[in-house]
Amino acid sequence: MSVLPLESGTVVGLNLVLLFLVSIEPYLFYLNIIFDLSDHALLLDSASRLYALDMTGLMLILALFTYELAREERGLVAADLIAHYRRVRDSLFVFAALFLVTVMPIFWNIKIQDLPLRFYFWLIPLVLSFAFRVSGRFQK
């Protein structure tokens, strides 16, 4: 955000939405932890869908901001960093899609060790982002 110019109303609006999504993310995560699956399946399903939508929004807005940074014609970052920001942008779009896909009921109905597949799918962006960061360190 320190490089991205805040001159447009769109960027300011997206930044406000991003701040709102960031502020409710811990609460939605807490709801996913506190509810017992056997006693509160409907509440947990709703809370987990909202969490997935929240994370989708977070990743999508971050991807859009990174998209603006990665545009060469804007000249916001050094030319040698453009490829890095494009990789980050692409990974954020993929992560947003992964979270969005988990809203579908099939990710709630299929269970592994009594936990919905949705929860396991949420680990994919975490593992991939760690792998991207580690591989990026070795590419330098």
Give pLDDT tens digits for 127-137: 988 888 887 66
Q: What is the DSSP string of 33-63?
A: HHS-TTT-HHHHHHHHHHHHHHHHHHHHHHH
Q: For residue 74, is it within any domain?
A: yes
Task: Report yes or no on 109 lying in a domain.
Answer: yes
Decide if 39 is inside a domain.
yes
Structural domain includes residue 4: no
Distances (CA, A) of 102 to 13, 29, 78: 26, 15, 36
- Beta-ladder partners of 115: 112
Nearest to 122 by CA among 101, 93, 136: 101
* Nearest-angstrom CA–CA distance, 24 and 11: 20
Domain membership of residue 2 (yes or no) is no
Residue 100 lies in a domain: yes
Q: What is the mean pLDDT of the chain?
A: 86
- Domain membership flag for residue 1: no
Q: Is residue 117 situated within a structural domain?
A: yes
pTM across the whole model: 0.85
If one counts the domains in the chain, the total is 1
Backbone φ and ψ for 115, nearest 5 degrees, come out as -115, 135
Q: Which of 37-46, 59-68, 76-85 is least confident?
A: 76-85
Domain of 111 in residue numbering reads as: 9-139
